[in-house]
A and B are shown apart, each in its own frame.
Chain A
Amino acid sequence: MRKLVIAISMLGLVGSAAFADPILDRQALMKERGKIAGGLSKVVNGQEPFEAAAVLTALQALQANAEKLDIDALFPAGSDAGDTTAAPKIWEDMAGFKAVHAKYLADVKAAVAAAPADVDALKAQFDTLGSDCGTCHQTYRIKKG
């Protein structure tokens, strides 16, 4: 768990570095999101012990990360071209894309507000967040070679 906290504090540095390239910026945020979630998954799976304070720190980091994903700034028109797996569907249905991200952010905030007291509570929240990942990636992401 200590490792999780250290990893998050290091991620803060990455997250604050601005690349001034929307594709790189949004990719950095998504990678950070994956790393934080990956740390939490170890607690959910029982590979690491549940420590309420560290878990809350991780959830807060997820919230900060989600709030940083400014869709207007990071998904400007034309940024479907280039080295990106963002699907053209994002720009065809920007309202829908924003809605699924808003739901994710709301679910993260709810998890922070609830401050899980045990691993079962965390697991329920984690399942919700994981299904948010899938909902968005199903429609708005396209794998490329």
Chain B
Amino acid sequence: MPLLKKLVGAALILGGVGAVAGWLLSAPVKLDAETLAQLGPGDAARGKRIFNAGGCTSCHAKPGSQSDARLQLVGGLQLKTPFGTFVPPNISQDAKDGIGAWSVEDLANAMLKGVSPSGEHFYPAFPYPSYARMRPADIADLYAFLKTLPAVAGKAPGHSLSFPFNIRRGLGLWKRLYLSKEPVIAFPEGTPAPVMAGRYLVEGPGHCGECHTPRAFTGGTKKSEWLAGAAAAEGNGIVSNITSGEGGIGKWSEADIANYLETGFTPEFDSASGAMVDVQKNMAELTPDDRAAIAAYLKAIPPHPNGYQARRKTAN
């Protein structure tokens, strides 16, 4: 059977080439020297703004902690998703259990490339596909602010994921599809400055799209339904459509949006719920200009109908 032998041989060679290619293509890639050179010295006061815009405490504070205790970034929250349970780690300044021993370059590689100091991929439950759009100088500022926070001992437990999601290396291929520093929404020349500033906050540090945009089966966000609302990653609820499309916030004025981010109350005087409660508290720490910029951006993006399935109406 020379033909069969040939075919088997060809399949083996192709398989081998595929495996090698897959291995090479999935390799973690760190930042280049040019990007690292843009980090600069970093400023803690400016970094505090980035810290609040990013809402780091929402995932990394000890679950259930309040006020100043939320600055103890010990991790340990359990994010139960269809892929398995993700546990945000300790990112306090503890040198052993946290990130106290990290350099600013380490933080930049983590946030902009999703790569750990030891050269492994992070899971995108850590929303680096959004952070990848951030300016390196803002990472340096954030690093300076994180340095002012306490060191807290205690390692959070590891993730508990099902196959094949437990293979970190596979994320290298995923990143080739979804990791980009390019903005999601392109605006023409002459777009007002607040819209552009809002785009940076929403698409970058604010990582709003991570929850408010529906995901493909691969786990990547659907840019064609950007911020259209989505089934919640945890539980059976939904995350609101924050475009001006049907079901969204088209009737809200920019002032309504800014007021919601400041106070947590909608124009109908309903209040934020679920994970948005903590997000809103972080947004309340931003300046009025930043909140107005976010509002301007949300009013400027393409409208979409709800990105989640309508609930079946139950008979009364």
Contact = CB atoms under 8 A, between A and B. Distances in A.
Interface in A25-73: 34-35, 37-38, 41
A78 interface: no
Interface stretch (A10-18, A105-113, A114-122, A135-143): A135-143
A130 B238 contact: no
Given A130-B263, A142-B273, 8 more contacts: A41-B263, A134-B272, A134-B281, A137-B272, A141-B274, A143-B237, A143-B239, A144-B238
Contacts of B277: 134-135, 137-138
B280 interface: yes
Given A83-B314, A133-B264, A134-B264, A142 B269 contact: no
Given A130-B263, A133-B264, A134-B277, A144 B237 contact: yes
A81 interface: yes
Nearest to B309: A145
Given A83-B313, A83-B314, A143 B269 contact: no
A134 B269 contact: no
B314 A130 contact: no
B271 interface: yes
A35 B270 CA distance: 9
Interface of A: 34-35, 37-38, 41, 81-83, 85, 87, 130, 133-135, 137-138, 141-145
Nearest to A45: B259
A34 B268 CA distance: 7
A130 B281 CA distance: 11
A144 B265 contact: no
Contacts of A141: 273-274
Interface of B: 232, 235-240, 263-265, 268-275, 277-278, 280-281, 306, 308-311, 313-314
B311 A130 contact: no
The 5 A-B pairs of least Cβ separation, nearest first, read: A38-B269, A137-B273, A138-B277, A142-B237, A34-B269
Nearest to A23: B316
A145 B238 contact: yes
Given A83-B314, A144-B238, A145-B306, A41 B265 contact: yes
Contacts of B240: 143
B207 to A, nearest CB: 19
B237 A41 contact: no
A145 B311 contact: yes
A87 B275 CA distance: 13
B18 to A, nearest CB: 41
Contacts of B311: 144-145
Given A35-B269, A134-B277, A137-B271, A143 B314 contact: no
A145 B273 contact: no
Which of A83, A135, A143 is packed against the most chain B CB atoms within 10 Å?
A: A143
A81 B280 CA distance: 28
A57 B314 CA distance: 38
A79 to B, nearest CB: 12
A134 B268 CA distance: 15
A37 B270 CA distance: 10
A141 B273 CA distance: 6
B271 A143 contact: no
Contacts of B280: 134
A133 B271 contact: yes
Contacts of B281: 134
B236 A130 contact: no
Nearest to A140: B273
A72 to B, nearest CB: 23
B271 A134 contact: yes
Contact of A82 (B236, B264, B270, B314): B314
Nearest to A24: B316
B291 to A, nearest CB: 15
Nearest to B268: A34
